Every structure is written in structure tokens, then in C-alpha cells.
Amino acid sequence: NHRPKVGELLECDFGRWSEPETVNGHIPPEMIKRRLVVVLNGDIDGHSVLVAPISSTKAYGRLANFHEYLSPDLIAETSFYEKRDRWVKAEHIRCVSKKRLHYVFDNGRKLSQYLPNDVVTAIQKRVLIAVSGKRILDSLNNEQ
């Protein structure tokens, strides 16, 4: 029984969009498929975890304010994940069942990967921006 930790990199199976589109399934632009995520809270209630998905698609315009850049050296290269620029999509944070989470494997070997604390803090700031909490950040910055 795995207990995900803050900053841990795992895969999350978000599922697929429903056909036809109904509220009983995922609807675009909601996150779909199995993808790399970073854990932001590893134990909401013993069964669920707060995660933010990671993408190799760069955002432009307003959405770029919600994305935190991850340099290629932060994520191990595997047979599936090549070295490339990636972004954490803070506007797509989700509370998911632990049953959706999986370790990342490379050729049958389980990887244990964590983002550095300063990167996790930067992601958490992006989450605050995504939930219109910029005033909180500004007030914290003014107190320092």
C-alpha cells in the first residue's frame, strides 16, 4: 500500500473522454490518459491524493501563467519518457483515488523520483495563481 509523498513523480491514469460527451465521463479540456504527475498532497483522506499533471506541450498566453517549467534533467529518461522540456499544468490539479496512481517503470525497474523542494514550492505558487490566489502570494511577499 503505497503512500505517495509531496514532490513524488508517478503516473496517473485519468481515463478517457466519454463518447458521446456526458457529465458521467471526462469532457474536453479535462485531463485524460495515463500521464506523469507530481504529488502535491499525498494523503487527503487516506484514499485520495492531490496531483498536478505534467506535459511536454508548452502553453502560450494566459495559460502560461499557470505552468511551471521542468528542465529535462529533473525527470529520468526511460524507454517511454525521453529527455525534453516539460511543464506542470497547475490549472489541472486533481484529487484522484490512489488506485489511479502507478510507479514509473523503465525496462521492468521501478523508479523512485522526486522533484526538489524549491521546484515543488514554485509549483504550489502556480496552483495559487490558478485558483485566483495571487493576492495571497502578494501579501506574503510584502511581509518579507
- pLDDT for 29 equals 73
Q: What is the pLDDT of residues 19-73, one digit of tens each?
A: 766 666 777 777 778 899 999 999 899 999 999 999 999 999 999 999 999 999 9
Whether residue 49 contacts residue 42, with contact meaning beta carbons closer than 8 Å, is answered with yes
Region 122-128: mean pLDDT is 96
Q: Which residue, chain included where needed, has cell 499557470?
A: 66
Amino acid identity of residue 136, one-letter, is: I
DSSP 83-109: S--EEEEGGG-EEEEGGGEE-EEETTE
Coarse DSSP helix, strand, coil percentages of the chain, rounded to the nearest 5 percent = 25, 30, 40
Residues 66-98 have pLDDT tens digits of 999 999 999 999 999 999 999 999 999 999 999
28 compared with 120, residue with greater pLDDT? 120
Domains of the chain: 9-143 (2.30.30.110)
CA distance 53 to 102: 13
